[in-house]
Structure 1
Amino acid sequence: MIGPALAAIDAERIKLTSTRSPYWCLAMVVVIGIGVAALLGWLLSGGYADPASVDTRTIDYLVGVNQFGVAIFAIMAVLGVTTEYRFGTIRTTFAATPRRPLVILAKTVVFGGLTFAVAAVVGLLGVVLGQALTGNGIALGGPDTVRQLWGTPVFAMLCALIGLAVGALVRHSAGAVAIVLGWMFAFERILSVLPRIGENIAPFLPFLNGWNFLSGGNDTFHWNALGSLVYFAAFTVILLSIAIIVTDARDA
């Protein structure tokens, strides 16, 4: 079992590194993630705002990653599945790895691991650069900063895995990307502000729980910040499990 699993992971790694779209996606994450942090630090250092009002909020320097970057990671994961269906290479993949769950699990390891690593590095560089440009020194030891530095890559990884699951279920690039982005930035936010029912629904929406964790928790949720992360992770695992079951059951 270990041998076929490692072979499947290596095959997904080769496919990932042999196509251009992941490089473009990762380049955009680097530019946006570090660029937004640098811009914020530069504006504060230039006297356009009061540095004391934001320099202790690490999440401000990570907006480029936890708002825009996560969407790009999710799109990259979607394309990692749907392009195989588009060009018919998924049949070759399933022929080489007859146990279809191994294919999805291998993609999970590759895309999840890559997303976590890149988000961690970009997030750290963004925070360091932003704080350095602000001119108030670099502080990486506070509890909020520590939570942001490890929580942001975890959140990004879970977003990517949701994109992977949706891509495996929908199998069409445009449709899957529209679902993920609409779900992430529109559907949940609209539901959360609906009169009467919005405040009851919001604590159970997955992406809002992810952002609730990053923001440090909110009294409107039924659990603390860490509970929101656990809820989001559990939702991601369930959705991935459904994608694995469906992929294993239907025709390529």
Structure 2
Amino acid sequence: MIAAINAERIKLASTRSPYWCLGVVVVLGLGIAVLLGAVAGTSYGSPGEADTLTGDFLIGVDQFGVAVLAIMAILGVTTEYRFGTIRPTFAAIPRRPRVLIAKAVVFGGLSFAVVAILCVVAVVVAQMLSGVGVSLTGSETVRHLWGTPVFAMLCALIGLAVGALVRHSAGAVAIMLVWMLALERIVSVLPRVGEHIVSFLPFLNGWNFLAGGSDTFHWNAYGSLLYFAVFTLVLLAAAIAVTNARDA
């Protein structure tokens, strides 16, 4: 398994798309945080609001950056099918589940680490610009500082699973973006239907955790995080089973 993880790490470091994706995540995360921090400083910022504004400052990461990380994970799988490198990969590592598990460790770990650092920097910079005072110890801030990296990691793993199931870059990216950014939000507001199924929509559960919970869900914020994590693991397990059963 260590050899498989090292192989995936080398693949990741030797291609350009991860660097572009991470660059976009950093630009979105810091750019929107700086913009909102400046706006808060001129309109509604006031002493003591550092904790309550954290969720707003991280919109660039937990609303848009996570989608880019999911795309990065998708490309980590689908480009191997596109260029035919998946066959030698499976020849070198005949136990196919190890390949996807190694990819999950690499892409999930990278997403967690990058977002963890980015969140701290974005929050501190935004708080400084807003003039509300720099604080990283409030309950809301603490939940976002560790919860957003976890959410990003799970989004990357879902992207990896979708990529392994679809095996086509454009198709997998389209499915992921529509599902994450539009489909669940539309379904959740359908008359007489949305209110009954909103608690079972995975990404909305992830965002519900970051928002601190909502009365429209059957469980609290941490229940939403648990649900999202279980859904991610089930989908990843399905992708591993399908990859192991079909031809490369």
**TM-score normalized by the length of structure 1:** 0.96
Superposed displacement of residue 192, structure 1: 0.4
2:96 to 97, 100, 103: 100
Superposed displacement of residue 44, structure 1: 2.4
Give the conservation status (yes or no) of the 8 Å contact 1:213–1:225.
yes
- The corresponding residue for 1:246 is 242
Structure 2 SS opposite 1:51: coil
Give the conservation status (yes or no) of the 8 Å contact 2:30–2:60.
yes
Aligned-residue CA RMSD in angstroms?
1.0
CA distance in 2, matches of 1:245, 1:118: 29
* 1:23-79 deviation line (CA, Å, top 9, x unaligned): 00001111110111111112222x2x1113964221111001001100000000000
- The corresponding residue for 1:79 is 75
Residues 191 and 21 (structure 1), Cα distance of their counterparts in 2 relative to 1, 3 Å cut: same
Matches within 5 A, 1:141-180: 141-180=137-176
- The corresponding residue for 1:51 is 45
CA distance in 1, matches of 2:37, 2:189: 32
Matches within 5 A, 1:19-58: 19-45=15-41, 47=42, 49-52=43-46, 55=50, 56-58=52-54
- Identity rate, percent: 70
CA distance in 2, matches of 1:189, 1:40: 24
- The corresponding residue for 2:11 is 15
Which one-letter code corresponds to 2:113 in the other structure? Answer: A
Which runs of 5 or more structure 2 residues have no equivalent in the other structure?
none
Give the conservation status (yes or no) of the 8 Å contact 2:49–2:132.
no
1:65 to 61, 64, 84: 61
- The corresponding residue for 1:124 is 120
Give the conservation status (yes or no) of the 8 Å contact 2:206–2:228.
yes
CA distance in 1, matches of 2:197, 2:182: 14
- The corresponding residue for 2:105 is 109
- The corresponding residue for 2:206 is 210
- The corresponding residue for 1:88 is 84
**TM-score normalized by the length of structure 2:** 0.97
Give the conservation status (yes or no) of the 8 Å contact 1:210–1:229.
yes
Give the conservation status (yes or no) of the 8 Å contact 2:25–2:61.
yes
CA distance in 1, matches of 2:78, 2:156: 14
CA distance in 2, matches of 1:25, 1:59: 22
CA distance in 1, matches of 2:132, 2:214: 28
**Number of residue-to-residue matches in the alignment:** 246
Superposed displacement of residue 117, structure 1: 0.3
Which runs of 5 or more structure 1 residues have no equivalent in the other structure?
none
CA distance in 2, matches of 1:247, 1:63: 34
Give the conservation status (yes or no) of the 8 Å contact 1:79–1:173.
yes
Give the conservation status (yes or no) of the 8 Å contact 1:199–1:220.
yes
CA distance in 2, matches of 1:81, 1:44: 41
Structure 2 SS opposite 1:50: coil
Give the conservation status (yes or no) of the 8 Å contact 1:209–1:229.
yes
